[in-house]
């Protein structure tokens, strides 16, 4: 069984990315995660978390590592360079991939209103409407998702994020959020 290590901003990401990565791989994998309590803490602590992955598999190293953060209106290429520079002189016995999401994780959720509706209908009986905007240009997608869920009578929690992620159709995300392909490929290649 392949062991993935993921370093993410928080508990919503932890819950959702485990589901999304499993959908991308479609094979037997195990994922351990390190939620960091926000992007600032992620940027400071990810090299230490990567080092801890060297001893996770019965005293040995994990097989693959992903460091995932939101761009939050910043240049993804610049963020990627900054993250790479933090580990320039370090080596790990596994490959490390940096993934920068255009805007936020919730951008991907908004790409599949049917997945959101399955969750809201199961919890409150109310479907949600499609978001007819360029999703990767929505500057506050988490707030947009919270508004949609609130209209359907439910709160956005890590458990709700996990349920939506479990329902997602990845081809819809790829269609509406072209940068998702890079994430999917990084997960497969890592």
Q: The tokens of 112 are what?
A: 């599949």
Eight-state DSSP code of residue 136: G
Q: Does residue 190 carry a pLDDT above 70?
A: no
Q: What is the pTM of this model?
A: 0.93
Q: ∠ at Cα 188 (55, 57), nearest 5°?
A: 15
pLDDT for res 26? 78
Residues 6+ apart with CB under 8 A from 88: none
Residue 158: which pLDDT band, with cuts at 50, 70 and 90? very high
Report which of 89, 84, 6 is spatially closest to residue 49, judged by C-alpha positions.
6
Matching residue, tokens 């329902």: 167
Q: Does residue 60 carry a pLDDT above 80?
A: yes
Report which of 162, 146, 156, 139 is spatially closest to residue 71, judged by C-alpha positions.
139
CA distance between the termini of the chain: 15
pLDDT digits (tens, 9 = 90+) for 3-55: 999 999 999 999 999 999 999 987 889 999 999 999 999 999 999 999 999 99
């Amino acid at each position: 069984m392949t062991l993935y290590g993921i370093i993410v901003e928080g508990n919503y990401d932890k819950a959702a990315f485990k589901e999304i990565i499993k959908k991308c791989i479609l094979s037997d994998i195990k994922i351990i995660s390190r939620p960091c309590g926000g992007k600032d803490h992620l940027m400071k602590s990810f090299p230490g978390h990567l080092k801890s992955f060297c001893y996770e598999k019965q005293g040995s190293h994990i097989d693959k590592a992903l460091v995932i953060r939101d761009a939050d209106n910043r240049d993804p290429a610049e963020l990627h360079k900054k993250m790479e520079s933090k580990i320039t002189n370090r080596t790990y016995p596994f490959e490390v991939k940096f993934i920068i999401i255009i805007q936020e994780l919730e951008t991907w959720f908004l790409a599949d209103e049917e997945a959101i509706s399955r969750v809201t209908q199961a919890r409150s009986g109310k479907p949600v409407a499609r978001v007819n905007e360029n999703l990767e240009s929505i500057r506050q997608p988490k707030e947009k998702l919270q508004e949609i869920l609130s209209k359907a009578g439910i709160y956005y929690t890590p458990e709700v994020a996990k349920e939506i992620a479990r329902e997602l159709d990845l081809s819809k995300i790829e269609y509406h959020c072209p940068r998702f392909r890079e994430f999917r490929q990084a997960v497969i290649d890592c």
